[in-house]
Amino acid sequence: MAILDVEKVVRDFEAMTKDAENVQRETLKLILEENGCAEYLQNLGLNGRTDPESFKACVPLVTHKDLEPYIQRVVDGAFSPILTGKPLTTISLSSGTSQGKPKFLPFNDKLMETTMQIFRTSFAFRDREFPIENGKSLQFIFSGKQTKTKGGLLAGTATTNVYRNPQFRNVMKSMRAPICSPDEVIFSPDFHQSLYCHLLCGLLFREEIQFVSSAFAHSNVLAFRTFEQVWEELCADIREGVLSSRVSFPSLRSAMAKLLKPNPELADLIEKKCLGLSSWYGLIPQLFPNVKYIYGIMTGSMEPYLKKLRHYAGDVPLITADYGASEGWIGVNVNPTLPPESATYAVPPNIGYFEFIPLKENVEEHMQDEVNKSSLSVEPKPVGLTEVKVGEEYEIIVTSVAGLYRYRLGDVVKVMGFHNSTPELKFVCRRNLMLTINIDKNTEKDLQLAVEEATKLVAEEKQEVLDFTSHVDVSTDPGHYVIFWEITGELSDEVLEECCNCLDRSFVDAGYVSSRKVNTIGPLELRILQKGTFQKIIDHYLGLGAALSQFKTPRCVGPANSKVLQILCDNVAKTCFSTVY
């Protein structure tokens, strides 16, 4: 495997982004030429035309609901070209955390190629700032199983489809930091056993670990929270050279037996490091002295985990990974020295054709449910990739290499600047994830900020909010917001009331405040959950076929997530209502 030429990757990206408009036209042309025979495009009357003007005139904006019948036919085994010129052989499943159940999405070799392009480009820009020497990486990646659909297609989460593709391992090796864990650990059917083995592999190769990563910040935090609980057991494994009985799968035990030999010196060293830490601050560099950075998606719904991850990281930089979705990739992080909260993503103009619906007013004014309706009932006027304006907010429309045409992704982004002639985007929120009862419109970011403010009171009590979510309860009159917290310890009723009041005051949206004052929205309710509730939610999604690598805690649990809401309500330990307003 040849070592990646990072300077060439950067040069190619610079050249491409200097000519973004022409590259976009060429990319659309290639997509339409390769898929022009597909039934979906044939029915729209393009008649072989591949220019953007004809494309926009003939092809409507769509949501997943509009394409669902076509995708279902593919899933059921229709062999004729329906969405793509070449028959699809693989289907991706979204995480399902937003809508309560996974969506079927097309996946093909072209999408895999763009994924590898994103990985290489991102690594090239990171490597210029944080050079990786020959070593290994500790990557907390967990691949779910691929199953067969009714029509015989392979189906798995988007991350599973990537991890099980041979190109993934090859690209990792070309980056001079192959994954320290054997394949059996990545593909284990039990993520608890897999996580334990990932941690053990990292410790065995501690001197060689150059970076620590996971798909999402949540997985990184979960890994080191788990380490706090099992480190003594890990040390015992290393000291004796015998794997813990908690790992029961024969394939895992066999793979780990090849790595694990008695090493009391290493066990003593790790034990000394752990006993010398105060509240586990700086755990990661203590365990892995040559680590350069910690990597993973850290924006959007992952931002709440940054504080804990920084605690574990100490002085080691956090670098947020690239911007994508199960539908495909959007942007690459070419400014890795920026903190995750300030991260922007430059759009590679050759990975898809992009349009943007301008949201002229504040995004909160545009969170109506039209995104869930048929696109035929609305007439937004999108602009092209190079036509967006700095400081403006937009909804993204994607035409992908895998058979999605003018697809409304549902993400709202803000244009922060340009990298040559391609925009640098900052993720703002999902359009359909919000708290609303009356005229109030609070986004996931608003929820995060309210929780951050209230958790300062928890920190004063030497406690920690492990995770959180929310729900709009309209079974009461008036309806009200419900915030769910899982915390590390116990809080007095007085402190809980302070936290509840702080949450209520921290929602500053004008519609919410005015509605609370006239009692058209009732007092906010804070529900404290029993320990392990969010783990039960993870287990629920894993049971549906999701992979831990793709898991995102649902921040607003609605009717579509009835099972998750039931788990939350069944595990309430204490409840408090706000007394403000």
Q: pLDDT for 221-236, tens place per residue?
A: 999 999 999 999 999 9
**Quick one: pLDDT at residue 136?**
92
- pTM beyond 0.85: the answer is no
**Does pLDDT of 369 surpass 70?**
no
pLDDT for res 437:
84
> Burial level of 30, CB count in 10 A (0-12/13-18/19+)?
middle
pLDDT of residue 389: 95
User: Is the pLDDT confidence value at 106 over 50?
Assistant: yes
Q: What are phi and psi of 472, to 5 degrees?
A: -100, 115
Of the listed ranges 168-182, 257-271, 519-533, the least confidently predicted one is 168-182
Residue with tokens 């993973």: 296
**Rounded CA separation 395/354 (Å):** 11
Distance in angstroms (rounded) separating the CA atoms of residues 188 and 208: 24
Residue range 56-81: mean pLDDT, rounded: 90
Q: Tell me the pLDDT band of 196, cut-offs 50, 70 and 90.
A: very high
Percent of the chain whose pLDDT exceeds 90: 60
The more confident residue out of 369 and 212 is 212
What would the two tokens of residue 499 be? 């936290």
Q: Which of 138-152, 240-254, 362-376 has the highest mean pLDDT?
A: 240-254
> What phi, psi does 130 have (nearest 5°)?
-130, 75
Task: Report the pLDDT value the prediction gives residue 368, as an integer from 0 to 100.
Answer: 43
Total number of residues shown for the chain? 581
What is the DSSP code (8-state) at residue 339? Answer: -
How many degrees, rounded to 5, is the angle at CA 419 between CA 414 and CA 420? Answer: 130
Q: Which CA distances in Å does 141 have to 181, 303, 495?
A: 9, 19, 38
Calculate the alpha carbon distances from 496 to 288, 464, 528, 546 in Å.
Answer: 38, 13, 9, 34
When pLDDT is averaged across residues 311-340 and rounded to a whole number, the result is 94
Stronger pLDDT, 27 or 379, i.e. the higher one:
27
3-state secondary structure of 459: helix
- Report the pLDDT averaged over residues 291-317: 92
pLDDT confidence tier of residue 25, bands split at 50, 70 and 90: very high
The Cα 155–Cα 36 span in angstroms is: 25
What number is the average pLDDT over the span 494-503?
A: 94
pLDDT confidence of residue 301: 80
Q: How far apart (Å, rounded) are the C-alpha atoms in residues 445 and 436?
A: 14
- Flag the least confident range among 79-83, 434-438, 488-492, 499-503: 434-438
Residue 362 pLDDT greater than 60, yes or no: no
Of 11-20, 145-154, 193-202, least confident by mean pLDDT is 145-154
Q: Which residue has the higher pLDDT, 212 or 88?
A: 212
CA 171, 347, 217 angle in degrees (round to 5)? 60
Report the percent of the chain where pLDDT is more than 70.
94
3-class secondary structure, 491: coil
Treating both helix axes as pointing N-terminal to C-terminal, what angle do 264-275 and 217-240 enclose, rounded to 10 degrees? 130
Q: Could you read off the pLDDT of 400-410 as tens digits, one per residue? A: 999 999 999 98
Section 285-309 average pLDDT: 92
pLDDT higher than 50, residue 47:
yes
Q: What is the spatial distance between Cα 252 and Cα 44, in angstroms, rounded to a whole number?
A: 51
**E strand or H helix at 98, and its extent?**
none
**337 is written with which tokens?**
């020295």
Is the backbone peptide bond immediately before 339 cis, with ω within 30 degrees of 0?
no
β pairing state of 136-140 and 147-148:
unpaired
The answer to whether residues 319 and 333 touch, using CB atoms and an 8 Å cutoff, is yes
Structure tokens at 276: 């010398």
Tokens of 215: 């798909």
Lowest mean pLDDT among 23-37, 98-112, 146-160, 491-505: 98-112
Taking the CB of residue 333, how many other CB atoms lie within 10 A of it?
Answer: 26
Amino acid type, 167: Q
What integer is the mean pLDDT of 248-260?
A: 94
Please tell me the predicted confidence (pLDDT) of residue 166: 84
What CA–CA distance (Å, rounded) separates 370 from 268? Answer: 60
Where residue 367 falls among pLDDT bands split at 50, 70, 90? Answer: very low
- 46: number of CA atoms within 13 Å, CB side? 25
Judge whether 92 and 159 are in contact, CB under 8 Å: no
Report the pLDDT averaged over residues 477-498: 92
Checking if the pLDDT of 94 tops 80, the result is no
Average model confidence (pLDDT) across the chain: 88
More confident residue, 560 or 101: 560
The pLDDT score that the predictor gives to residue 98 is 54
Which of residues 375 and 135 earns the better pLDDT score?
A: 135
Per the listing, tokens 């929270």 go with 225
Cα–chain center distance at 137? 20
So what's the pLDDT on residue 550? 67
Residue type, 566: Q
Average pLDDT over residues 85-94: 84
Q: Hunting for tokens 């999902």 — which residue is that?
A: 430
